[in-house]
Amino acid sequence: MTDQTPWTSNIFAITLLTENLEEAKAFYQRVFDLPISFEGDTSAVFQFGSTLINILAISQAEELIAPATAARPQDGARAVYTLRVENVDARCAELTAKGVRLLNGPMDRPCGIRTASFQDPMGTIWEVAQDR
């Protein structure tokens, strides 16, 4: 019997690399209001729906990605992770009340969505989006 579900139908986990695990954990707990699902000496995992966000100390990156190398945060963004929300403006107000600086938005995009973006301490870009 073969599995008929496409292997791309569900992202199980995303690993984000950090130079400061304590700062990253505090940010994710404060901004996303999530408990830590798992914690070790070099990582903390948060549950975003059915996807795990694993915050991993940069010192552990080589074991995970070699022979590739980890980029430095100051080298610029390489990905954006988007969370669907009901009201971008209300979510932005909540984020700024928590001390989060928006990179852009809220703004209406030509593709029919309203978005705003912010950055975590590791340089990861997060976007909130709603259908217009």
pTM: 0.85
Q: Is 75 a residue whose pLDDT tops 90?
A: no
DSSP the chain: ----S-TTS---EEEEEES-HHHHHHHHHHHH----SEE-SSEEEEEETTEEEEEEEGGGHHHHHTTS-PPPGGG----EEEEE-S-HHHHHHHHHHTTPPEEEEEEE-TTSEEEEEEE-TTS-EEEEEEE-
pLDDT tens string 6-49? 877 788 999 999 999 999 999 999 999 999 999 999 999 999 99
Instruction: Specify the pLDDT at position 29.
Output: 97
Domains of the chain: 9-68 (3.10.180.10), 79-132 (3.10.180.10)
Q: What is the mean predicted confidence (pLDDT) over 67-77?
A: 86
Q: Is 53 a residue whose pLDDT tops 80?
A: yes
Instruction: Specify the pLDDT at position 2.
Output: 57
